[in-house]
Amino acid sequence: MAKSSLSNPLALAVLSCLLEKPMHPYEISTTLRNRGKENSIKLNYGSLYSVVESLSKHGMITASETVRDGRRPERTVYEITPAGREKHDSWLSELLSTPVRDFTSLEAGLSLMPGLSPDEVSRLLDMRAEKLRISLRSLQATFDVAGERGLPDLFLVEDYYRRAMTQAELDFVVKLAEDIRSGALGGAKVWQRMHELVDSGVSLEEIGKDPVRFLGEEARVMQPPQ
């Protein structure tokens, strides 16, 4: 078995499609699209074709025929190999059973949050909250439509998951904006004071050299733990 392991979930989606029947890459892409998988798995042509090539190189799939219709581009139909089936099962099992660190953009934003003023941040979080509410409504619309069409929940699990996560994010964001405004968030006062200093022309560099002088005892923790 190959050492260099694929990592793009799109490759798993490809295996999953080929489990059903042999297809050519473009058909895979439309299949995934029709089933709404592009909402859960990033799909673009460049990646698709390179992922297919890589799977083929690793013996997970093989080209079963290449057809040329008139002068249109050649279609290469791929089918899954036994190794590919195994890979599919083990990979999918891994995805479901093992949480991985994914770096979300909000996490990045929160960790750099002190770079803006508290007022600013709470305002921005309010905006985010509003957009999250809109997302939730649009997810609900999805469920309503699916319900009418008789689509079973099984095929909407990803969306239910997204709803749960979006709701959790909304709750968190609303609470955080509140805590910043009320000063319930530990450190909010120093943060505020620091931005007042910056606005009055003191540079961050100066403050950084002697935080305790500028910000008081609370700022002691900002110094390197010697």
Nearest to 87 by CA among 14, 15, 13, 4: 15
Q: Could you say whether residue 21 binds DNA (CB under 7 A)?
A: no
For a second copy, the closer of residues 4 and 97 by Cβ is 97
Cα 57 to Cα 11, 33, 84, distances in angstroms? 13, 25, 12
3 touching DNA, by CB under 7 A: no
Nearer to a second copy, 58 or 88 (CB): 88
Handedness of CA 3, 62, 79, 54 (dihedral sign): positive
Distances (CA, A) of 218 to 178, 188, 213: 22, 11, 10
The reply to whether 13 sits near a second copy by the rule CB under 8 A is yes
Interface residue with DNA among 39, 49, 113, 187 (CB under 7 A) is 49
Q: Find the shortest distance in angstroms from Cβ 156 to a second copy.
A: 8
Cβ–Cβ under 8 Å, residues 191 and 218: no
Q: Does 224 bind DNA (CB under 7 A)?
A: no
The first and second tokens of residue 152, run together, are 């079973």
Token pair, residue 167, equals 């709701």
Residue 18 contact, options a second copy, DNA, none, Cβ 5-8 Å cut-off depending on partner type:
none
Look at residue 20 and give the partner it binds from DNA, a second copy, none, a contact being a CB closer than 5 to 8 Å depending on partner kind.
a second copy
Residue list 167-186, contact with a second copy (CB under 8 A): 167-169, 171-172, 176, 185-186
| Pairing of the two strands 61-67 and 75-80 | antiparallel
The residue type found at 47 is: S
Given candidates 33, 42, 57, 213, which one binds a second copy under the rule CB under 8 A? Answer: 42
* Interaction of residue 136 with a second copy, rule CB under 8 A: no
Give the helix/strand (H/E) hosting 134.
Answer: helix 118-149
Per rule CB under 7 A, is residue 30 in the interface with DNA?
Answer: yes
139 part of the interface to a second copy, by CB under 8 A? no
Sole window of 45-53, 84-92, 93-101, 195-203 interacting with DNA (rule: CB under 7 A): 45-53
Specify the DSSP element, H or E, that contains 76.
strand 75-80
Q: What is the DSSP letter of 40?
A: T
CA atoms within 13 A on the CB side of 200: 9
The one among 40, 64, 76, 142 contacting DNA by CB under 7 A? 76
| 50 contributes a contact to DNA by CB under 7 A | yes
Footprint of DNA (CB under 7 A): 4, 6-8, 10, 24-27, 30, 42, 44-47, 49-51, 54, 69-76
